[in-house]
Amino acid sequence: MRMNRHIRNFLGDRRGNIAITFAFLLVPLISAVGMSLDYVRAYNIRTKMQADLDTALLAVAKDIGTLNNDAIEAQIQNWFAAQTNLTDKGYELSDIDIDTNSQEITAKAKVTVPTTLLRIADIDSVDVSVSSSVAGPGSSYMNVYIVLDKSASMMLAATSAGQTAMQDTAGCAFACHVSEGSHTYKGKNYSTNFALAKAMGVQLRTDVAMNAVSEVLDMIDVYDSAHKRIKVGFYTVGKTAAEALAPTYSTTTARKVLANDAKKMTGATSEDATYFDYSLAALKKLIGTAGDGKTANSPMKLVLMLTDGIQSERNWVHQTANGIRFPTEVDSLRKATTPLNPDWCDNVKDLNAAFGVLYTEYLPMTWDWGYNVTVGEKMSTSVFSSVWGGKMQSGSKNKTRQAYIPVALEECASSSDMFLQASSAAEIEAGLSSLFQQYVAKVRLTN
């Protein structure tokens, strides 16, 4: 009886259950935790490897048609290795296919990722693989339309030193072409601010714009060294739009036109008004609908506009209304000097064209009475909505019109990454080429 009671007590004792149960569950528990940690690690590596492969293919897509397939494949290998810096840890790039007819590149990459805790379940590694395929403007036919704002406000001296020099000598920081009275510099008289600025060697925003356009031409020479895929054309916007150069494959011709004062791209000419509602509608007719880029007759289209973004008329500031174009319902001309209405930019975007906008920043000039009564005024005192039809963003009424310009121009661009704001001469010069690069890099990731 006593023996039976001991046996029953032993069998009924629950005091060691937790330890025994834990011992039984320890292996699957560690395996589950290991699976979570190791697969998250593998997933992160896969995400990084996918981005690196995409970047490698994007970087060389522009070379289809200019390099042979072996050279392109070598570039992909080198770029991928440079991006990952992990080739010594098992990354393998394979199955690279370059189709020059469809202008498409495909590739695969794989790696074996060692496990940690999963080894307790006899899983020593996890295979990770990714694939990518790219095609698009980097290897397609495309037209680039460079559009310059020709308003008198673009005749502003490009540097603070230049503005000070113009202000001290002419009483105005702008190199306008209209007669501002006689100005004397080094014993000679000059009847316009522009003539004075040239004599003083003051660099203007228009001069910087010419340098920016030249950089784009340099890049086209690189991306299309055979000059068989990318055309470039020049256009201006002011009271309306005008074509200075129809799209051409020849960057040599483009450079000649750019330097020709008679073509009205340089600072030798300007307009006393910029009517974006008129000029962008006129520009639409000059550009035409974009294609898919597969043939020369169906090019993709990129419009690059360099502007200070102000809907303006010189007489609006000076309040001389005789004979000028202006809505009669506005009681003060100065209220009409506002940022452009972004809806007007749909004229270009509706063509299925990419629209890049470089804003040459309208720097605050609180010492200038003309600035203070127009661009320096608040949006709430403007006719941005009531006359120009703009939809002001919430909370913007107390912003100055100058502060609202980049808001409007970013909406004008086809995407936020196709908008750049530049305040210095160096930023302006680099800006257009940056937008061009941004677009060319936007090749379509098909996988």
Q: What is the pLDDT of residue 88?
A: 45
Which whole-number Å values give the CA distances from 211 to 207, 244, 255, 271, 417, in the listed order?
Answer: 7, 17, 11, 20, 22
Secondary structure (3-state) at 304 = strand
Angle at CA 301, nearest 5°, toward 338 and 444?
A: 110
219/213 Cα distance (integer angstroms): 10
The tens digit of pLDDT for each residue in 292-317 reads 888 999 999 999 999 999 998 877 87
Q: Are 205 and 166 in contact (CB under 8 A)?
A: no
Other C-beta atoms closer than 10 Å to the C-beta of 250 total 13
What does the CA dihedral 321, 238, 282, 411 come to, rounded to 10 degrees? Answer: -100
Distance in Å from the first CA to the final CA of the chain: 78
**pLDDT mean across residues, the chain:** 83
C-alpha of 357 from chain center = 7
Whole-prediction pTM value?
Answer: 0.71
The tens digit of pLDDT for each residue in 83-115 reads 665 444 556 777 788 776 666 788 888 888 787
- E strands, 19-150, where? 92-99, 104-114, 125-135, 142-149
433/443 Cα distance (integer angstroms): 17
Q: What is the pLDDT of residue 63?
A: 72
The secondary structure of residue 116, as a DSSP letter, is S
Count of H helices and E strands in the chain? Answer: 13, 15
Secondary structure (3-state) at 190 = strand
Helix segments in 335-384, DSSP class H: 346-349, 369-372
C-alpha of 127 from chain center = 38
390/21 Cα distance (integer angstroms): 71
The tens digit of pLDDT for each residue in 323-375 reads 555 555 555 788 999 999 999 999 999 999 999 999 998 878 888 888 898 99
What backbone torsions phi and psi does residue 211 show, to the nearest 5 degrees?
-65, -40
Complete domains list, the chain, with CATH: 15-135 (no CATH), 142-156+204-445 (3.40.50.410)
Lowest mean pLDDT among 29-38, 99-108, 435-444: 29-38
Give the model's confidence band at 55: pLDDT under 50 very low, under 70 low, under 90 confident, else very high.
confident
Q: What is the pLDDT of residue 351?
A: 97
Question: Residue 69 is inside which H or E element, if any?
Answer: helix 69-84
Q: Burial of 320 by CB count in 10 Å (0-12 exposed, 13-18 middle, 19+ buried)? A: exposed
148/360 Cα distance (integer angstroms): 11
Q: Of the segments 27-31, 158-162, 245-249, 292-296, which one has the largest average pLDDT value?
A: 245-249
Pairing between strand 142-149 and 300-307?
parallel
Which whole-number Å values give the CA distances from 435 to 44, 91, 299, 342, 401, in the listed order?
Answer: 31, 33, 18, 19, 25
Question: Residue 185 is inside which H or E element, if any?
Answer: strand 179-185
pLDDT at 399 over 90: yes
pLDDT at 37 over 60: yes
Lowest mean pLDDT among 56-60, 158-162, 233-237: 56-60
205/376 Cα distance (integer angstroms): 20
The tens digit of pLDDT for each residue in 136-148 reads 566 689 999 999 9
